[in-house]
Amino acid sequence: MFGGGTGDGAMTNGYDGDHLDFRGGEFTGPFTAKAEYHEHGPAPTALDALPARAVGFTGRDDELRALLDAFDPSAPEGPAAVLVAAVSGLGGIGKTALAVEAAHEACGRGWFAGGVLFMDLHGYDDDPVTADQALEALLRALGTAPEHIPAADERAALYRSTLAERARERGAVLILADNASSPEQVRPLLPGNTRHRLLVTSRNKLPQLGARLLSLDELTSEEAYALLDRALRIADPSDSRVADGPEAAAELASRCGHLPLALQIAAALLVLDQDKPVAELVAELTEFRDRLTHLDDGERSVRAAFDLSYRRLPPEQARLLRLLSLAPGPDVSTEVVTVLTEADAPPTRALDALTRTHLVERGNGRGRWRLHDLVRAFGVGVVARDAGFREEGEAARGRVLEFYCRWAEAAADRLRWLPGKAEPERFADRAQALEWLDGERAGLVAAVQWAGEERYADTAVRLAECLAVYLEWRRSFEDWITVGRAAREAAHRAGDHHREAIAWNNLGVALRQAGRVGKAVDALTRARDLHRAAGDRHSEGIAWSNLGLALREAGRVGKAVDAHTHARDLFQAAGDHHREGVGWNNLGIALREAGRVAEAVDAHTRARDLYRAAGDRHREGTAWNNLGIALRQAGRVGKAVEAYGKALEICREFEDWYGAGETLHNLAFAHEVAQRPSDARACYLQAADAYTRANAPTEATQALNWADRTDKGPDPTPPPTPITP
């Protein structure tokens, strides 16, 4: 305190550091000045800011190892090999938990003696942390006094300098930047000193950072099971509901899409109600029209996690995500995506952008796309809550169904095509048609299920009819049954008796091929009666033919002979010589089983000749096989072997591996009758290989067993296998 009078001169002094400067001041009398002295200590640091490990963290062993390998200072490639690692994945996939776990593990190994900086960038919030704000917070955490933090454009330089000093004094620092949404948000946080490491988590892939990239997928079934069990036992060590019901727990994990956030919410719901069985929660999630409404424990919500990502999407990408959620099947081709969006060209840029955000994933094969089950549920929910989106979605589904119907019909025409007929659209050969059908099969089968909605029923039923020849060829009988039932119910509701009869017929054939002979007889009887009532004699003949096959397999051989005779007569009356060949072929099988072998030889010979005249080489092969069986039974083994050789040649020509397996099985049987065990064994082994290629493991195993039996002396021989068209 300085005493004196008050002055009336101008003061040119000012505050400078820790003292007052009165130089240049003019005083005409006493004056008084008050000074306060502040001693500034060092600013506090926050270099042990790592959050606690996630309670119940489990799984992710491979991903954890990859992160630790990237940051290991003793790695052979040197400490500067990986400056940045970026963990990306869908919201709720467990990115932060993995990053925090890896950071704790690395610190426990003494790799970051200089400390850990943690920053939540809130990249998907309405007000994300900017790079400048992040730098300011990190500088404060490093001990920089607020008044010494420079303007925004100078902060990055001070940040790097401070980190370099920290490296010299204490050692390497780990910076964990959580929840980033763009490279711009993270790039200024890169440390200059190569001893430090930056670990970033984001819902977006961030290849622009030159980082070691690690994308997280959903948990495996085993990891999801372990997470559920561990979460319940943390709350109550005696809670064994998951262990006591592993099947229900597996189904719960599936309903949660193996997404860690959804699994944690499901576990919390079980913890809150300790009397609730796991199966009951599974039923609730299954019955809920909107699963995401149930995956909410009051604090965490799967829908809220996805909504953060969705709200940041540009309009084009948001629309694409909504439409993809309505697509049939587990994944779709770029071609189908283009139809969904009604675009002139594939929306490749939008798809790639959604892939970078992990909202869309690569499907099975190049050019295919899929959504996580819960993302699909989210998209469906967004559409359902908006009338405009619903209308847009219904139109998109209609376009896809028409597209599928048009090209499935073209593919079926190619599979049924015979020389001399008009060339089908689009597909140059059978291989192209089968390749397209194989790629789209799941979507095609799913699209037929839309037959339950009146606006799609007619097209979906037509699609089901187009798929019959393909599903039979690929022996996808369960899919065929699913398709047949959907078509039958839709046609019945619409009062379309013609299409209902076709659906009954196709369903009956599928049931017979799947071994459900009793149900097949009932279905084919319905088909026959509906066609007869409509006066459609040709279609009635088809139903009779298929009914005869089912009756024979049911052991009602006499009835089967009558049915096939009816079918043959109807085809003859219609002048359909190609179908007449089918009638003769099937009649021959029934006649042989009835003991009328000479008639069977004649019937199969007629069938072979009719197929040949019609140019149906594949069915000609089935007639050769069945003729061989009849010839062998008639004691003409040499001729039978010749017939099987013709059949095998045609099966291989068409890559009909199941037919080849059946023919080789019959040829082996003929060799056994002729007492040529080594030839028989070779044929059984070839049959096993053919069945394997046809995805018929049961038959392949049986063929191998018969091959082993040929080395052990005489034994009951396997029955011959006829081939039906």
Whether pLDDT at 93 is above 90: yes
The separation between CA 252 and the C-alpha centre of its own chain, rounded to angstroms, equals 18
Residue 236 CB contacts under 8 Å (≥ 6 apart), including other chains: 271, 274
pLDDT tens for each residue of 352-361: 999 999 999 9
In the DSSP assignment, the letter for residue 15 is E
Whether pLDDT at 610 is above 90: yes
pLDDT tens for each residue of 707-720: 888 766 545 455 66
Confidence grade of residue 725 (pLDDT, cut at 50, 70, 90)? low
- Looking at residues 178-205, what average pLDDT do you find? 92
Task: Return mean pLDDT, the chain.
Answer: 89
- Looking at residues 111-117, what average pLDDT do you find? 93
Whether pLDDT at 27 is above 70: no
Q: Which fold has domain 61-215?
A: Rossmann fold (3.40.50)
Domain boundaries, the chain: 1-39, 61-215, 221-300, 304-385, 639-712
* Pairing of the two strands 361-362 and 331-333: unpaired
Residue 78 CB contacts under 8 Å (≥ 6 apart), including other chains: none
CA distance 538 to 534: 11
pLDDT at 238: 95
pLDDT at 42: 45
Confidence grade of residue 174 (pLDDT, cut at 50, 70, 90)? very high
Name the CATH architecture for the domain at 304-385.
Orthogonal Bundle (1.10)
SS3 39: coil
Least confident of 71-80, 113-122, 177-186, 213-222: 71-80
Residue type, 399: R
pLDDT tens for each residue of 636-651: 999 999 999 999 999 9
Structure tokens, 77: 């490639």
- Looking at residues 256-282, what average pLDDT do you find? 93
Whether pLDDT at 654 is above 80: yes
Whether pLDDT at 566 is above 60: yes
Whether pLDDT at 475 is above 50: yes
Least confident of 48-57, 208-217, 530-539: 48-57
* Pairing of the two strands 197-202 and 115-120: unpaired
Whether pLDDT at 451 is above 60: yes
pLDDT tens for each residue of 386-399: 999 999 999 999 99
Residue 252 CB contacts under 8 Å (≥ 6 apart), including other chains: 228, 266, 278, 281, 282, 285
Least confident of 149-158, 458-467, 517-526: 149-158
- More confident site: 420 or 517: 517
pLDDT at 163: 93
In the DSSP assignment, the letter for residue 172 is -
pLDDT at 563: 97
pLDDT at 711: 64
Tell me which CATH code domain 639-712 carries.
Answer: 1.25.40
Global pTM value: 0.79
Q: How many residues does the chain have?
A: 725
pLDDT at 477: 94
pLDDT at 26: 55
